[in-house]
Homo-oligomer: A and B are copies of this chain.
Amino acid sequence: MGRYIFGIDVGGTTVKCGLFNTEGNVLDKWEIVTRTEDAGEHILPDVAGTVLEKAREKGIRGEEIAGLGIGVPGPVNENGEMPVAVNLGWGYKNVAGELEKLTGWKVRAVNDANAAALGEMWKGGAHGYRHVVLLTLGTGIGGGIIINGKVIPGAHGAGGEVGHVHVEDAETEICNCGNRGCLEQVASATGIVRLARRVLESDDTPSVLRGSELSAKAVFDAVKAGDPAAVQVAEKFGEYLGKAMAGFASVADPEIFVIGGGVSKAGTILLDYIKKYYLRYAFPPCRDAEFALAQLGNDAGIYGAARLLLD
């Protein structure tokens, strides 16, 4: 097997690229623009172009390359095909197949959140574990479930899409997925802002959050400063998320939960609020699951994509 792997993470605005050795050391890292025009038809040729160019630049021959892994935003089946990727302008696309043709290398494709979970298991917050649930709390909520070292893609590419678990019957607004009361509506960065707005509107107790721009960061900064309204928001967030995670544990029973995404920058205080409620609702044998923050930040996806080639 070759000594080099390319790990690619396709986002709606940029494509993150990494060149790794098989030990998981990143040798080079760069980005290109995601050209979503023309139904996204340039994206995969652009990826192939940049990695072939990088290989030439580094003097790496084809037989030295173990392959290329790619994470893409949307459901991906076990053959590396996507029914649709709204953010990229794609309808059905055989991502792995097309990139194999374009590069001549072995290619593996997975959902981007699943790639991030693999990355965190390989070199991040879940290093050394084999049964992992990763939650990425960003604008939305992504997730990845790893069982015995392998990611669960699911029968419809929706394995680990835990942002759309129903958690609130009383929700009146509609989630991006079309349902109402999804976890993403109350525990993502935007969800925390919604919770904060509702708490602030419910009474008029003084709060440092009033009058300033609301964000997940502002809320958790205020929690650290002891602001009562912010603490109320953190409790609600913790109850929604901890209770939902207790449910995930009854299905997948992980050794460790890893929390990533922008919201995780709040630090370990986040885990305190989640664990409080997780312990209240979890099935007793699952209560000693560990909790950790993600460590690879925006690089988790390229690490995990590269890791796909080592199975």
- Chain A residues near B (Cβ < 8 Å): 75, 78, 83, 131, 145, 147-148, 152-166, 177-179, 243-244, 246-255, 281, 283-286, 288-289
| CB atoms of A253 and B131 under 8 A apart | no
Closest beta carbon of chain B to A176's beta carbon, Å: 11
Q: How far is the CA of A75 from the CA of B148 in the complex (A)?
A: 17
| CB atoms of A285 and B161 under 8 A apart | yes
| CB atoms of B147 and A152 under 8 A apart | yes
Q: Determine the chain B residues whose CB is within 8 A of the CB of A281 once the complex forms.
A: 166, 179
| CB atoms of A250 and B164 under 8 A apart | yes
Closest beta carbon of chain B to A201's beta carbon, Å: 23
Q: Determine the chain B residues whose CB is within 8 A of the CB of A250 once the complex forms.
A: 158, 160-165
Q: How far is the CA of A165 from the CA of B251 in the complex (A)?
A: 9
Q: Determine the chain B residues whose CB is within 8 A of the CB of A78 once the complex forms.
A: 148
Closest beta carbon of chain B to A283's beta carbon, Å: 4
Decide yes or no: A249 and B158 within 8 Å by CB, A147-B147, A147-B152, A166-B243 being known contacts.
Answer: yes
Closest beta carbon of chain B to A212's beta carbon, Å: 32
| CB atoms of A152 and B247 under 8 A apart | no
Q: Determine the chain B residues whose CB is within 8 A of the CB of A254 once the complex forms.
A: 154-155
Q: How far is the CA of A192 from the CA of B283 in the complex (A)?
A: 21
Q: Determine the chain B residues whose CB is within 8 A of the CB of A162 once the complex forms.
A: 250-251
Q: Across chains A and B, which 9 residue pairs bring their CB atoms closest together, nearest first?
A: A154-B253, A164-B283, A155-B255, A156-B285, A131-B155, A159-B253, A158-B253, A158-B285, A251-B251
Decide yes or no: A286 and B131 within 8 Å by CB, A147-B152, A164-B250, A246-B166 being known contacts.
Answer: no
Decide yes or no: A156 and B251 within 8 Å by CB, A166-B246, A178-B284, A283-B164 being known contacts.
Answer: no
